[in-house]
Structure 1
Amino acid sequence: MTTTASRPTVAGALRGRVIKFAERITTPLVPSDYLEVINPLHFGAGLRGRIVAIQPETRDAATIVIKTGRGWRTHTPGQYVRIGVDVKGVRQWRAYSLTSETGRRDGCIAITVKAIPDGVVSNHLVRRATVGTIVQLDQAAGEFTLGAQPPCKILFLTAGSGVTPVMGMLRNLNAPDVDVFVVHSAPTADDVIFGDELRALARDGRIRLVEKHTDTSGMLDVAQLEHLVDDLAERQTWACGPAGMLDALERRWSADGFADRLHTERFRPTVVTPGAGGTVTFAKTGKAVDAGGAQTLLDAGEAAGVLMPSGCRMGICFGCVAPLREGAVRDLRTGDITSAADGVLIQTCVSAAAGACEVDL
């Protein structure tokens, strides 16, 4: 009994001596730093992933398959993940919808990214990222999901890259009795992200699909939706796409008296009439820049070379929060003015200068 009980103590002491010796010979680093270099996805490091595949979807969109570290928890279909990517020596954070099946055996997740004009991260991921690149990750977040029990009738209304969270739901929807209708808008048939897969689902009878090719047939007319979906009022609707489309849907659903049946996901904040703008001073760097009333503090700071924390860039994740030391800012979503006071925090991704102001960055 004495011998058996003493073994863990002896082993623990020996392990402690080995660790101390390793720390002495690796100073100023510690052994975990070297482990991080050898295996950057090991448990205990910041949550990371490694790009293992890049699959083109359209001329300007690609699916990025990422092997996650052991700290990753599974996601709910429809959620997004914040990705940290180093572009030209600067770490940029963006949020992208998860399009993969949950609980993949290979431990991978997937995001599908559409390159947008002047999009630093989206163009990098679609056109320049390489297999083997290490990216930073946050846990999945977002409430644009079907919930624990999907309704018996579903309508998905999407446009452009707005189809990405919906594809995440479709790939994980194991409910053959659910009646699913998909209405998707894109400039041409070739521009439909996941076009082949959506059409295959329609041929197999798993969904009903209407494609709206806007280059030839114009924009979706929200006022005429019942001509496409005759039981519109009976369906729970999930919509994702440009702000103008979502605004029109919200007005219609509200006017028709079933606003509670509409669930929307916005990739960008809705912008109200901008304020006057002003000079923004970034206190820690001493840099000052003249910013327009429609320009976010985040964009103004990045343009001036200030290292700005950021995340979703649409006012959801609070990854860009910073103290406002002087002056006032306008919330571009609501038009509300926030004035400097002790400890007041602002979201730089949805705030614009309302006159001269100073931010503690």
Structure 2
Amino acid sequence: MTIRASLARFADMLAYPLRHSHYVELVNPLWTTHALMARVEDVRAETVDCSTLTLRPGTNWRTHRAGQFVRLGVAIGGQRHTRTYSISSAPGREDGCITVTVKAVPGGRVSEHLIRQVQVGQYLPLGEPQGEFVLPESMPVHPLFITGGSGITPIMSMLRNYAQEYEVIPDTVHIHYAPHQRDVIFGQELDTLVATQKHYQLSRYYTQTGASHFNIEQLEASCPDWREREVWVCGPTGLIEAVEAHWAKAGLADKLHVERFHAPIAKTSDAATPGRVIFKKSAAEASSDGINTLLRIAEDIGLNPKHGCRMGICHGCDTKLVSGCVRDMRNGTLIAEPGDTVQVCVCSAVGDVELAL
């Protein structure tokens, strides 16, 4: 054990039942070791409904890989809410900061708060970088990026990383979809890349001015050699499904790398069954329409259960089923055995349900 670790252990003994890091947090939240925090250094508008937050991570931060995401927390009305956002900056910035670019979701309490209410100097809980939507570290590739809306954020991290590490972006084709020209996130920076990087080819399609969300004609015009390229796609569900279907039909599904912002919801012929949801540990209950997720139902009655990705990946929202039946909305599977694990972010109630939550 190192001298520093020994001293930290001794300090924790003196600070019991807390840890010495809790007292350090009072001086500077970025110095804590029991939790990772970030200070907001800047908030910059990208479009009318999208902003980039520049964050300075605390002591425990480890460098991300371009394309990864983080959980970001914020306190609203006395409750902490957590959402997942892609990192839009390149790894290893000289100033030690990272950026996340947040687009407001209609009715989204967290996204609206982050882009309109968060102030410079505020401290936010930050998660470790996660995700496999990354470029290979050792094998050179000639990527095709297909993005829509805020799906450009992890790709921007990759482009910035190319420019930062190698100065010259390699042979890259990028197809981007947005409602209008004014809605293109990072629009000016993309224009600069087009003007200065001769191997970067960008095609933009505006879906509210006649262009559709992906078709073979657009693909052939923008990237004639698409069959030979590795593909990274991120954006709205409709765009991802169209790209997946096309590459599957071509027998090239193994060349696709996909990043989703929402869990894919399975189509089911079963009618939704309304009922009551009882949250045992919280001593609370609510009505269910059989459609909304159990997490949303809990939040709507003022509960704040632990969660992370909100799409069934991280298992941060796992709880136990006490009684009743729930449906996994990703595949339609019914979970009805008491004691089984329920991911409340991707499950809906089927009739009356009791959870350990």
TM-score by length of 2: 0.90
Please give the alpha-carbon distance, in whole angstroms, between the structure 1 residues aligned to 2:319 and 2:83: 18
| Matched-pair contact (CA < 8 Å) for 1:310–1:319 | yes
CA contact (8 A) 1:36 1:45 kept: no
SS of aligned partner of 1:64: strand
| 1:199 equivalenced with 2:191 (yes/no) | yes
Of 222, 228, 252, which residue of structure 1 is paired with 2:215?
A: 222
Matches of 2:57 and 2:41, distance apart in 1: 10
The amino acid across from 2:290 in the alignment is: G
1:348 maps to a residue whose letter is V
Residue identity matched to 2:234 = C
User: Which residue in the other structure is 2:355 paired with?
Assistant: 359
The offset of 1:304, in angstroms, is 1.4
Bigger mean CA offset, 43-52 vs 136-145: 43-52
The 5 Å alignment of 1:1-361 reads: 32-149=21-138, 151-173=140-162, 174=165, 176=168, 178-204=170-196, 205-224=198-217, 225-273=219-267, 275=270, 276-277=272-273, 278-342=275-339, 344-361=340-357
Could you say if the C-alpha distance between residues 257 and 273 of structure 1 is closer, same or farther in structure 2, counting changes exceeding 3 Å? closer
Q: Secondary structure at the match of 2:31?
A: coil
Q: Which amino acid aligns with 1:312?
A: C
Listed one character per residue, the Cα deviations across residues 65-100 of structure 1 (whole Å, up to 9, x for unaligned) are 111111001101000000111111110010000011
Identity %: 41
Worse-superposed segment, 276-285 or 310-319? 276-285
Distance change >3 Å, CA 177–CA 28, structure 1 → 2: closer
Q: Deviations over 1:153-175 (max 9, x none)?
A: 21100000000000011110245
Deviation readout 1:238-283 (Å, 9 max, x if unpaired): 0001111111111110111111111111000111236523321111
Note if contact 1:180-1:208 (Cα within 8 Å) is conserved in structure 2.
yes
Question: CA offset at residue 206 of structure 1?
Answer: 4.1
Q: Structure 1 324/29 Cα, relative in aligned 2: closer, same or farther at 3 Å?
A: closer
Task: Tell me which amino acid in the other structure corresponds to 1:355.
Answer: G
d(CA) in 2 for partners of 1:213 and 1:189? 7
TM-score by length of 1: 0.89
CA distance in 1, matches of 2:337, 2:347: 13
Contact 1:63 1:112 in 2 (8 A): yes
Amino acid at match of 2:327: R
Aligned to 1:5: none
Q: Do 2:86 and 2:100's aligned partners in 1 also have CA atoms closer than 8 Å?
A: yes
- What displacement does 1:43 show? 4.0
- 8 Å contact from structure 1 (residues 158, 241) kept in 2: yes
Give the letter aligned to residue 149 of structure 1. Answer: S
CA distance in 2, matches of 1:37, 1:177: 44
Which consecutive residues of structure 2, in runs of 5 or more, have no partner in the other structure?
none
**Partner of 1:216: helix, strand, or coil?**
coil
Structure with higher Rg: it is 1
Q: Distance in 2 between matches of 1:106 and 1:37?
A: 24
Compute the RMSD of aligned alpha carbons. 2.3
